[in-house]
A and B are shown apart, each in its own frame.
Chain A
């Protein structure tokens, strides 16, 4: 029973991890840009959800639309205005650029919202479901289910819509896509916007669970890194598998080795995987 409970804890945590990572993975896969801003994007989404709930009474599950929309606009602008200018440059250039932008965004959030931790505290909390001595916290369960739905929606959009196909085409081969009449820079901006949108949505969901503060951004970024490498880059299914895997591994690791080693285990695993199987658990990358 204990193991089953730990497994459940891990899966619910993993669903949230996947949601944090999927936008990061998309941007990395399509643009070959490691977006250091991602953690701060998630936090910004959480703040939007927080203020929407406190001032407008909008439930965080519905403010996904707000935070996602706002972050999409911000992401699109950042890519179109700044990153697109250096997108062909060496790895380090884009990395350092997003690092600099992150310093700016994070410090601005610190000044605007202060570092004090806040949480969305619902009028009617969901409570927990207890089945045969197994406890399922409903806020986590719902948040995780919504995260899965959101990720599924992204998958459908990429597979079915014209823009989605164009993104996939650019990911496969930007030059060929350009020859076929795809406006590559616009697709880059759209992709970055969608990545930010997913971060904002994740932020809304997380606002119910984690204390919100600009200081949390590095934790989220670290999680996104690990999940991406675990699951394989740029693949949505990979992010899902990577997130769940990380959640379960951390839960059992904390049980068997002790809670202070949860992060160490995740990182060691990541290095081992990088060394022996850099394409991630899902093997070949891609959207299939």
Chain B
């Protein structure tokens, strides 16, 4: 051992132990509203986490530029405190507790997806922190009897029911459905919902297959579908799964009359990665940039929001990004209605909310889940997602066939 290297070791050891004795406390200004946002910024869900962050950031920036939130006779700036929970659910719960007890946030945006949102809601309920979930759709998240949890997604069945009805009413000769789902919380739940919607509308579900997380090849399942020739293929998963499935379908020549995928086609990354083969893929989402509402919020109309988003990020917002911004807008409206940042008052304002925002009309049901939205069904046509339903914002008719 040379002198230098042993001294270096001491230095490292001292640094480690020194770090151990450091205490970190969050200092914060008097008139700032702090909103905690645990997000999956690393790990498998990080693409989703980054989307949510974009939505929150845009809201916070817009609010602060407009002079902040007025509550009673005080005006507050907004600060969003982010924590990365590494796409790990228990870590999300830990993050929520840390944000509340250590960072002293007054409000919380839930972590991504139904599972983590549900797990974290027990913490925020315990501390009586009004919490808005921007990406949780399962009814099981909201039926726990919690008073402080509100969500901006309608239940999964509101996506699959209109789809099944549109195809059933089309008069096309479509009888059989094959369902192919990722064995994961949301994709599996929505696939089961689709099965119910399909059977309810008189279709025969010829196969229901699951694939495991981390599958890099779908050739066998697709080869089987090529044999069984279903009229309608319904595939669920995250965007990487759906890109791979769509490409392999094209490779193997699987060409159903209708191809529905959830939840990828709403993201521009999907059309970029699949090109022409994205054409005529149908899907549904909780929001779409083509909807038109005349919001009374800081963004104004839907078109204004889309323009603001484009100016900031250079692309159209998708439903996840918009829902995150909407969570901010809803929180802001509740604080302004309540005239204070008292948690109970804000919670009551949320429960009684009846407002129109760029995202759509906002009313929450008994459980805290939004009831006032009508999720659009859309189809990729000419490289763009075109709204098929609801009729009020319809841009195009559903095309059948043409899946190559």
A and B in contact, CB less than 8 Å: yes
Given known contacts A9-B220, A135-B252, what 13 new A-B pairs fall within 8 Å (CB)? A9-B217, A13-B217, A115-B46, A115-B50, A118-B269, A119-B273, A121-B273, A140-B251, A223-B216, A250-B220, A255-B224, A259-B210, A260-B183
Specify which chain A residues have a CB less than 8 angstroms from the CB of B226 in the assembled complex.
135
* Chain B residue at minimal CB-CB distance from A264: B212
**Complex interface residues of chain B between 206 and 245 (CB less than 8 A to chain A):** 209-212, 214-221, 223-224, 226-227, 239-240, 243-244
- A residues within 8 Å of B by Cβ? 2, 5-6, 9-10, 13, 107, 110, 114-119, 121, 128, 130, 135, 137, 139-140, 209-211, 213, 215-216, 218-219, 222-223, 250-252, 254-255, 258-264
Interface residue? B47 (CB, 8 A): yes
Q: How many chain-B residues does the 8 Å CB contact rule pick out?
A: 38
Tell which of B214, B215, B223, B248 touches A6, judged by Cβ atoms closer than 8 Å.
Answer: B223
| Chain A interface mostly | helix
Which residues of the other chain, A, contact B221 by a CB distance below 8 angstroms?
Answer: 254, 259
8 Å CB contacts to A: which residues of B103-120?
A: none
Could you say which of A6, A115, A130, A211 contacts B220, with CB atoms under 8 Å apart?
A: A6
- Cβ of B44 to closest chain A Cβ, rounded Å: 6
* Contact B273–A211 (Cβ < 8 Å): yes
The CA of A190 and the CA of B311, in the complex, are separated in Å by 49
Q: Is the CB of B183 within 8 A of A128?
A: no
In the complex, what distance in Å separates the CA atom of A262 from the CA atom of B212? 8
Whether the pair A128, B217 counts as a contact (CB closer than 8 A) is: no
Partner of B253, one of A2, A130, A210: A130
Instruction: Specify which chain B residues have a CB less than 8 angstroms from the CB of A262 in the assembled complex.
Output: 211-212, 215, 217, 220
A215-B41 Cα distance, complex, nearest whole Å: 12
Interface status of B275 (Cβ within 8 A of chain A) = yes
Does B371 interact with chain A (Cβ within 8 Å)?
no
Q: Which residues of B contact A252 (CB under 8 A)?
A: 220
**A9 CB contacts on chain B under 8 angstroms:** 217, 219-220, 223
> Which residue of chain A has its CB nearest to the CB of B182?
A260
A117 x B251 contact (CB < 8 A): no
Q: Is the CB of A117 within 8 A of B239?
A: yes
Once the chains are docked, how many angstroms separate the CA of A258 from the CA of B224?
Answer: 11
User: In the complex, are the beta carbons of A135 and B240 less than 8 A apart?
Assistant: no
A residues within 8 A CB of B212?
259-264
CB distance from B399 to the nearest CB of A (A): 22
User: Which of B46, B218, B251 counts the most chain A CB atoms within 10 A?
Assistant: B251
Q: Does B395 contact A (CB under 8 A)?
A: no
Contact code string B144-186 (vs A, CB < 8 Å = 1, else 0)? 0000000000000000000000000000000000001001000
**Are B269 and A117 in contact, CB atoms less than 8 angstroms apart?**
yes
CA distance A260 to B221 in the complex (A): 10
* Contact A259 B223, CB 8 Å, known A117-B47, A117-B240, A211-B244: no
Q: Which residue of B lies closest to A110 (CB)?
A: B42
